[in-house]
């Protein structure tokens, strides 16, 4: 494993627009139990007061951008973040279809891991949105020499190597990690943004509405404008042991 100083020497410049997916249920949930816009706004203020304070460096950023850095420590680990690690990670994708593939997989995994949870009978709405990233402190796991450990970076369930790398990257002042998507069949690139300052836009840019529907054998996604549909057969994720250790369908 590279030392922080060695990783720092591999840093490169990155400029691009990346996509992230957020579920649309929060606004609908408070709208259902309030009678006016004023009451809804007040309820959302009260709910927000029960949540962790915003980190200082997120000031001025829209909540859709800053939220991944707010909830720390988080009880569950992810590819580049250890369980209970205070520092957050903003996960995004270079292509919107890759972001949808990531969300589709984790939506499926949630229901398969919770057999008693009732699946929605209609598709669930999500917002896909872009932010711009500019940094000269990015490491790219898809390029030499870091791609030599591709098997470790793309392990579907064991994140140890990625988390160790992220620890060293933070120590080296790295702001973002570019890596191959494990969930997207086309294996397009994702970004793990370690510092919110690498995001140069304070508000989401482009927005799209997608509807995702989990079926027994596939996950379907549909975008109304511009029209697009995607299907992800569950078998494309067969290398993930978590999908083989739970019931194949939910009543």
Residue pair 217/129 in contact (Cβ under 8 Å)? The answer is no
Q: Is residue 249 part of a domain?
A: no
Number of folded domains in the chain? 1
Of 26 and 91, the structure prediction assigns the larger pLDDT to 91
Using the structure block, give the residue that is written with the tokens 């990531």. 102
Q: Is residue 250 part of a domain?
A: no
Give the global pTM. Answer: 0.89
pLDDT band at 6 (very low <50, low <70, confident <90, very high): confident
pLDDT band at 158 (very low <50, low <70, confident <90, very high): very high
CA–CA separation, 5 vs 9, rounded Å?
A: 6
pLDDT per residue as tens digits for the range 163-194: 999 999 999 999 999 999 999 999 999 999 99
CA–CA separation, 199 vs 19, rounded Å?
A: 12
Q: Which domain holds residue 186?
A: 4-243
Q: Is residue 251 part of a domain?
A: no
Q: How far is CA 138 from the centre of its chain?
A: 18
Using the structure block, give the residue that is written with the tokens 């949540």. 51
Q: Is residue 26 part of a domain?
A: yes
SS3 for 238? coil
> Mean pLDDT over residues 139-160, rounded?
97
24-28, 47-51, 122-126: least confident range = 24-28
């Amino acid at each position: 494993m590279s030392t922080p100083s060695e990783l720092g020497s591999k840093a490169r410049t990155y400029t691009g627009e990346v996509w992230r997916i957020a579920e649309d249920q929060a606004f609908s949930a408070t709208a259902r139990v309030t009678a006016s816009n004023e009451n809804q706004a007040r309820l959302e203020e009260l709910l927000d007061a029960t949540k962790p304070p915003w980190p200082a460096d997120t000031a001025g950023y829209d909540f859709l951008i800053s939220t991944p850095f707010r909830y720390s420590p988080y009880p569950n680990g992810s590819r580049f973040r250890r369980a209970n690690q205070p520092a957050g990670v903003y996960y995004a994708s270079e292509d919107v279809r890759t972001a949808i593939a990531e969300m589709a997989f984790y939506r499926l995994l949630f229901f398969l891991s919770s057999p008693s949870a009732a699946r929605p009978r209609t598709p669930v709405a999500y917002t896909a949105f872009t932010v711009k990233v500019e940094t000269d402190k990015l490491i790219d796991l898809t390029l030499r020499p870091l791609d030599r450990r591709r098997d470790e970076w793309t392990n579907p369930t064991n994140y140890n190597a990625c988390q160790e790398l992220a620890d060293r990257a933070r120590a080296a002042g790295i702001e973002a990690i570019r890596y191959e998507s494990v969930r997207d069949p086309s294996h397009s690139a994702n970004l793990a943004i370690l510092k919110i300052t690498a995001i140069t836009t304070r508000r989401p840019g482009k927005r799209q509405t997608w509807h995702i529907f989990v079926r027994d054998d596939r996950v379907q996604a549909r975008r109304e404008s511009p029209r697009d549909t995607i299907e992800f057969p569950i078998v494309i994720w067969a290398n993930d042991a978590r999908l083989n250790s739970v019931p194949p369908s939910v009543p």
